[in-house]
Amino acid sequence: MTARRHGFRLAAALSVAAMLAGCASGPQVAPQRSPLAHWSPSPNFNARKAQLIVLHHTSIGDTEAALRVLKTHNSQGPVSAHYLVEMDGRIDQLVDEGDRAWQAGASRWAGMTDLNSSSIGIEIDNDGHSPFTQAQIDALIRLLADITTRLGIPRTAIVGHGDIAPGRKDDPSVQFPWDRLASYGFGLWFDAPLTPAPPGFDTLAAMRLVGYDVSVPRDAIIAFHRHYRAMETESLDSTDAAILYSLQRKLMAPRQ
């Protein structure tokens, strides 16, 4: 066999091997990462698909400490989130959006139970008692716009950890400005001025429609109050009924 012929056969064999390797490994999927964030990977994840965005506060108020926890473990075991928004507005991405971060825990929303598999988790560096910084809220609004646009998540599908785990979690705290997010079109919010709910209006049924797990009504009411009224009381009043009536009408309105 001549050297030329041998070289041709070797090249052909290598070409076939490369094709077979490509078939075996399947199509290469590009990483899903925000151009707004610094990629700072955590190993605490597995694969899933996002339909919801869950907001948290770290309860630490120290960025470096929060990053250590999100990349290692806490007293209950390993935890992570897809993003961390720092005090100065810097955005860190710790887990690829196509992967399952460990941030929701035992939770439920709108009938979904495996929320780690169906949500993007965003931690905000805050001790749970102090106001969130302007830089953080501005960065969060940019990040929400980016994620919802790229992943096709509805802008109303943004909730707090306390909403999906009432009685177990309270983040983000009553300090979080949900109304400010709503002014940019993020999260489900009520219309003002409020219209009184009609006689016989079922507030718990409306809360269930919004997404809350009302199996323990007291916990659900406190979570609802934290989100929509920046307080943590456990009794519903006429203002709550009017808010829920507005939210119910929005959810039941025909889609354009």
Q: Which residues are catalytic?
A: 123
What is the Cα–Cα distance from 83 to 32, expressed in whole angstroms? 12
Instruction: List the Cα angle 87/92/93 in 5-degree steps.
Output: 150
The length of the chain in residues reads 256
